[in-house]
Every structure is written in C-alpha cells, then in structure tokens.
A = this chain, B = another copy of it.
Amino acid sequence: MSCGGDDVRRARAWLTRAVEPGSPELWRWVEEVGPVAAATALHRVAAPPRLQALAGTRSGEDRSGPDLDRADRMGARLVVPEDDEWPADELHCLTVATAQGHTGDRTTALVPPLGLWVRGPARLDLAVDRSVALVGSRASTAYGEHVAADLAHGLTTRGWTTVSGGAFGIDAAAHRGALAAGGPTVVVLACGVDRPYPAGHATLFDRVLQDGLLVSEWPPGCAPLRHRFLVRNRLIAALTRGTVVVEAAARSGAQATAHRARSLGKVLMAVPGPVTSAMSVGCHQLLREESDRPALLVTSAAEVLEAVGRLGADLTDPAPVATGPRDDLSDVARRVLDACPVRTGVSPDRLAAIAGCTGLDVLRVLPALELAGLVEWTGTGWRVTGEGRSADGAVG
C-alpha cells in the first residue's frame, strides 16, 4: 500500500506539525528540494528566512516519531504523495491552482496538502474516486437535514462516497444518510484524527470508522482551531467531483467551500429551499450568482450524479410526465369535446356553434372522440362521458 520510504514519511510528518498547513510557499519549496531536505533545513534553522518564519518556534521540536507511533497505535497512518494510496487525480486541481499562482492568504490558498493523516479501513484514493461533498450549515433545519440524509443515501446506494466535515447539522445528516445506506463515508477534519471534533459526534465517528475514513492535514493531538476550518474547507472541495450546498445562511463557511469548489473546476451545486428560510438564503444566492459556471440547482441524488457523473453512465431519468387522452386531440376536437354538455345530449350543429367551427368539423371529429370513450350518443344528441370529463388538460 505504501511506497513512501520511512525517511520521507517521517519528514512529511514533521512538516505537518512544524508548519501550519496551507502555505503555497512551503509546498513549492518542498516540491523543489524534497521533503527530507526541507524538514532537515527547517529543523536546523537553515531554511530561507521567509520559510523559516513559517515554522517559527515550532522548528525546534521533533515529534514526528511519536506522532507516527501514536497514529499506528490507533489504526491511523500518514498517507504521503509518494504512496499509491495518495489521491493524486483528485488533488491535481490544487497543484494546478498553486502553479497558476492562485492568490489568497493561507486560509484561502488552494495548495495541496503535504500529507494526510488518515484513520479507518478504507483506502483513501478508492474512497474518494467517485465522491461528492455535501456541505451546509451547522444551524440546519429539519428540512435541510432530511434532504442531506436523503441525498447521501441516494449517492451511497449508487456506489458514490459522501464527503463532509463531520460538523453538527448538515454535515452530520449527510454522514448518517450514507451510513444508513450501508456505505462508507469520509470525514475531513480540522484537527487530529485521534480527537475528532465535535466530541458530541464520538458515536458517529465510531460508525464512520467501521467502513470509512477520518482524514486530516493536522497530526494527532491538534486542536480544531477556528482558522483551521477555513484551511480544511479547500480539501473537501478538492477531494470530490463536486460540492452540494444543502443549506447555508447568507454568510457561511459552506458558501466559501462552494466558491473554492468552483475555483478548482469542480461542479458546484445547491439545493433550493423555502424562500422564507434563512438557512436557504445562501443556497439561493449561489443559484442567483452570475457566472460563466453558475451553481446548478439539484433536487435529488440522481440529478447530482447527472452533473458529476461520467457521461452516459449516470444519467438521471427524465421526470415522469403524465399524459392524458386530451393530449393527442386536435384543437377542433378539444373544442368539440369541451362543447359537449354533461347531461342532455345536443346536436352536431349546436356543438359547432359552441365550439366555433363548422358542422362538418364536428362530424369529422366525433367518431374519434367516441372511439376514445370521451363522448357518447344519448339517442337524441351528444354528451361528454365520465372519462371525457375527467380527462385532465392543463387548465389555468
């Protein structure tokens, strides 16, 4: 499973703790000189000053050995770019963004991770190969949670993985929906995988660990500091084919994740909701944004997969459309049908006057209407049948 040598893994473990993740400068330098040389230089305070400043006082420590041991003891591991398990295809978008010099401070920089601490039985690259991010507000409504669980369930039964952040609200509903469908789900954390946050989700995280994964850029023991969530959000967008915002307030982290997904060339989707709900305002804003690649409105797992799936493999069924017997009628036939009274039958001439056509028109269309069971001859005239009355055209 792993090809990264022990020294490379140890160096990357050291880097994930010594330098707060999210720095494009550090990532470029590590790519240039290699992880071992980079870690050695920083530890010896021999790196270029700008990079040395990123490590700050942390450069003096070395907890890489204990961190890897601690991970090993709880069934976790550090997956590095040198491993087969590294989700290279998915994270390529971050490499491209960094190469293009995507601007932004550390919390918004679209930079690849130096390594990913992973806990759980699934293989990371396979787990995220066909995956969708479901994100949204922590202060979700019952509606939003229902939809999140329903989407995750539908994605899971179609063989797709749901990725989210493990937070209260929409995130949790998404993970639970995936678990209810008996599939794996991936939680991308902003803290160590040994202390998943929030603590109230301990049981949920235990269930995730049966089939799925907890993933983090931060080594074991790291706390879920606020700024880390912002850095983490790019990973949720990057690891998946597309991001669905289920519920979001007007100013929310979910919207930020959404915009990052779009910047990375991923499919951005949003679930609509009642316009009276504050928790759908963020979704509606995304759907109203003018853009070359506007957010796509989705209402079902099938529609999500139609947007992110491989062409031809995941097409949604067209919405079922009921057709009535009126649909095949000509304009004149419809008018004659509408002209037929319910009780006492009337003559073709009278029908012509009501329908606004000639008597010949009436005689021409009556046989077809009768054959379709829509009108009947009473012995003295024509009237509509029960079926003709209930044949539902779109009125109004």
Instruction: Encode A164-191 as 1/0 by CB contact (under 8 A) with B.
Output: 0101000100000000000000000010
CB contacts under 8 Å to B, within A237-279, are 250-253, 256, 271-276
* B297 x A356 contact (CB < 8 A): no
* A107 x B334 contact (CB < 8 A): yes
Neighbouring B residues of A19 by C-beta, 8 Å: 356
Stretch at the interface among A1-9, A83-91, A357-365, A370-378: A357-365
* B287 x A57 contact (CB < 8 A): no
Give chain B nearest CB distance to A294 CB in angstroms.
Answer: 8
Q: Of B226, B352, B353, B357, which contacts A338 at CB under 8 A?
A: B226
A319: interface (CB < 8 Å)? yes
Neighbouring B residues of A190 by C-beta, 8 Å: 396
CB contacts under 8 Å to B, within A337-396, are 338-339, 349, 352-353, 355-359, 361, 393-396
A200: interface (CB < 8 Å)? no
Known: A57-B358, A349-B57. A287 touches B297 (CB 8 A): yes
* B319 x A250 contact (CB < 8 A): yes
Q: Which residue of B lies closest to A332 (CB)?
A: B106
Q: Which residue of B lies closest to A338 (CB)?
A: B225
Q: Of B250, B251, B256, B284, which contacts A272 at CB under 8 A?
A: B284
A317: interface (CB < 8 Å)? no
Give chain B nearest CB distance to A50 CB in angstroms.
Answer: 11
* B338 x A227 contact (CB < 8 A): yes
Q: Which residue of B lies closest to A167 (CB)?
A: B396
- A126→B62 CA distance, assembly (Å): 79
Instruction: Encode A281-299 as 1/0 by CB contact (under 8 A) with B.
Output: 1001101100000001101
* B288 x A303 contact (CB < 8 A): yes
* B288 x A287 contact (CB < 8 A): no
Q: Give the total of A residues in contact with B, Cβ under 8 Å.
A: 71
Neighbouring B residues of A234 by C-beta, 8 Å: none
* A230 x B393 contact (CB < 8 A): yes
Q: Of B225, B252, B359, which contacts A339 at CB under 8 A?
A: B225
* B20 x A335 contact (CB < 8 A): yes
- A396→B235 CA distance, assembly (Å): 12
* A253 x B296 contact (CB < 8 A): no
* A394 x B273 contact (CB < 8 A): no
Give chain B nearest CB distance to A265 CB in angstroms.
Answer: 19
Neighbouring B residues of A147 by C-beta, 8 Å: 275-276
Known: A287-B287, A396-B138, A396-B165. A275 touches B250 (CB 8 A): no
* B58 x A353 contact (CB < 8 A): yes
Known: A288-B303, A299-B275, A394-B230. A56 touches B250 (CB 8 A): no
- A281→B285 CA distance, assembly (Å): 20
- 20 more CB-based (< 8 A) A-B contacts, given A53-B357, A147-B275, A253-B395: A20-B355, A56-B356, A58-B352, A58-B353, A61-B353, A106-B331, A107-B331, A138-B395, A138-B396, A146-B276, A190-B396, A225-B338, A226-B393, A229-B394, A251-B321, A253-B396, A271-B275, A272-B272, A272-B284, A284-B297
* Subset of 13 A-B contacts with CB under 8 Å: A54-B357, A225-B338, A226-B393, A227-B393, A272-B272, A272-B275, A272-B284, A272-B297, A281-B299, A284-B299, A287-B297, A288-B296, A288-B297
Residues of chain A having any CB pair with chain B under 8 Å: 18-20, 53-58, 61, 105-107, 138, 143, 146-147, 165, 167, 171, 190, 225-227, 229-230, 250-253, 256, 271-276, 280-281, 284-285, 287-288, 296-297, 299-300, 303, 319-322, 330-331, 334-335, 338-339, 349, 352-353, 355-359, 361, 393-396
